Chain A
Amino acid sequence: SQTIHQWPATLVQPVGSPLSLECTVEGTSNPNLYWYRQAAGRGLQLLFYSVGIGQISSEVPQNLSASRPQDRQFILSSKKLLLSDSGFYLCAWNAGLGSTEAFFGQGTRLTVV
């Protein structure tokens, strides 16, 4: 069966420090991969999505970047964190090919101090 792993679960980082959140999917090939963020008092917002290795689409301008170095690995990064980067980050995957269901990881609670 397919599973999605996302880590770490919680993270406290100082302003100006780098960030790397990792997400891996097991049990499927060539999935669509997504990073969402939920800021306090707001809904989930799509940050990035990827339909294949090295293919990244950004949905909103921001201080973050994403990479997909392997088929089932999706990384969210920042060179210098801002206070406004605090939030709950969720990785998700979808089988593509018209599939309508997305499967989410457990999420990472990031607090920038």
Chain B
Amino acid sequence: EAQVTQNPRYLITVTGKKLTVTCSQNMNHEYMSWYRQDPGLGLRQIYYSMNVEVTDKGDVPEGYKVSRKEKRNFPLILESPSPNQTSLYFCASSLKGDNQPQHFGDGTRLSIL
């Protein structure tokens, strides 16, 4: 089954404790992206990657890191999480091209205390 898989689905942690949210897709997609969803703000892009070893900042990259060492994986790293990073996070992937729809994972709800 074609899918984007995020782990964990839920995480409660404390300020300053490094965490990684994994994202994996099995569709051989070139493009991958991370978004955060906050009430009243919709989805905002954090980082995206056009292909292996190519990553770029989105609208809200501060406090986040990403890497794209393999085509299928695109982990999101919070080196020193803070409470304002409490949010619902989505990973998405698509084929290359402006007209390609994105496929989304089921989300990761992070709470930073």
Tell me, yes or no, whether A binds B. Answer: no
Binding site for A on B (CB under 8 A): none
